[in-house]
Each structure stands twice: as C-alpha cells, then as structure tokens.
Amino acid sequence: MPNMTLSVDQELYDTMKSYPEIKWSAIARKAMKEYAHRLKILDRTASKSKLTEEDVEEIDKILKRAVAERHGI
C-alpha cells in the first residue's frame, strides 16, 4: 500500500496526540475512501445529465437567491 503524508494544524495535532490509542491513519483512510466514493457517484450522475453548463449556472443563481432570501442576506 502506498504511503501518504498529511499536514494538519497544530491544534488538531495536539488533539490527536492526546488520544494515542486512536489509529488516526485508519480514520483518515476511511474518510478519504468515503469521499472518493461520493465523487465517483457524482461523476456517474453528472455524466448522465442532460443539463448544459448554462442550465447549471441558472439553477445555481436561483438556489443562491432563494437561500439568501430565506436567511435575510
């Protein structure tokens, strides 16, 4: 299995060090695997879509407007 080195901020590092019994590499591996799986699903879904780039941009504008109005932004 290939190795990967990750950088984390000091606060996260300190927290991780305070729990040495946790297998942090296993947690990171699982999180990355799940994220990659979601990306594959999104790619498959997008590849079947009949929406154009313009359609997506228009939907994006409508959704952002609705969210802004709902939250009073």
What digits encode the pLDDT tens for the residues 41-67? Answer: 999 998 998 999 899 999 999 999 999
Residue 9 in this model has a pLDDT that exceeds 90: yes
Domain boundaries, the chain: 10-70
Confidence at residue 39, expressed as pLDDT on a 0 to 100 scale: 97
Query: How big is the chain by its Cα radius of gyration, in Å?
Result: 20
**Six-digit token string for 54:** 């313009």
Nearest Cα neighbor of 29 from 37, 41, 20, 21 is 37
Confidence at residue 73, expressed as pLDDT on a 0 to 100 scale: 83
Q: Considering the entire predicted model, what is its pTM?
A: 0.65
Confidence at residue 46, expressed as pLDDT on a 0 to 100 scale: 87
Residue 5 in this model has a pLDDT that exceeds 90: yes
| Cα distance from N-terminal residue to C-terminal residue, the chain | 48
